């Protein structure tokens, strides 16, 4: 997104992800004033999330993360509150599939792993339907005349060595977008 915006702020609950983000931004020659991330829980804001540069955003983007949110409705609401009036929220994530589909396989694999990590047990695919995501936007105060949810027609490929599923996974994604009411 860097070519299209002046300032990028990342928020992640996992300190390791924040460190990795900031290291990559520095390696790409971005000053922290232009691109940086802070550790924080959007539902339990820390001092870092209370700073003036963590509000009144033109856009908020969450990519491949909504399925990990413990409280997705509340989180989407908190993200929309950080938008300036007319600002946009965009969500990209795995489209729900029928039982036995690729996302269902990924959830089973994730839950069966012997090694446990912070994200273990947090994949929740039940709320990723168009009705649920658009309902989150409406409850968060978005202008529903600007809202949409589309399923990307092309399947993604997650190789077997990453997915840990024979043959890999071939899920589809969705993109949902809405603007905060003026």
Q: Is residue 95 within 8 Å of 128, Cβ to Cβ?
A: yes
Beta strands 8-12; 35-39: pairing state: parallel
Instruction: Sketch out the chain's domains with CATH numbers.
Output: 1-55 (no CATH), 56-182 (3.40.50.150)
Q: Look at the block and give the residue holding tokens 């994730």.
A: 110
> Encoding tokens for residue 68?
């990990």
Give which of 125, 175, 179 is closest to 149, Cα–Cα: 175
Q: What is the pLDDT along the chain (182 residues), one digit of tens a residue?
A: 888 889 999 999 899 999 999 999 999 999 999 999 999 999 998 888 888 888 999 999 999 889 888 889 999 999 999 999 999 999 999 888 644 454 555 555 555 554 444 444 455 556 788 999 999 999 999 999 999 999 988 888 888 888 788 888 888 889 999 999 99
């Amino acid at each position: 997104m860097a070519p299209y915006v002046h300032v990028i702020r990342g928020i992640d609950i996992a300190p390791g992800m924040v460190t990795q983000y900031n290291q990559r931004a520095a390696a790409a020659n971005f000053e922290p004033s232009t691109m940086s991330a802070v550790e924080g829980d959007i539902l339990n804001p820390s001092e870092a999330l209370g700073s003036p540069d963590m509000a009144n955003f033109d856009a908020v983007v969450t990519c491949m993360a909504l399925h990990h949110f413990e409280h997705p409705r509340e989180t989407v609401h908190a993200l929309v509150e950080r938008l300036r009036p007319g600002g946009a929220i965009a969500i990209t994530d795995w489209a729900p599939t029928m039982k036995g589909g690729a996302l269902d396989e990924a959830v089973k694999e994730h839950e069966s792993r012997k090694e446990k990590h912070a994200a273990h047990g947090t994949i929740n695919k039940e709320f990723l339907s168009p009705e649920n995501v658009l309902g989150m936007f409406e409850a968060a105060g978005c202008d529903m005349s600007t809202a949409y949810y589309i399923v990307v027609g092309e399947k993604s490929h997650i190789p077997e060595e990453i997915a840990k599923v024979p043959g890999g996974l071939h899920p589809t994604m969705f993109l949902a977008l809405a603007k905060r009411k003026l």
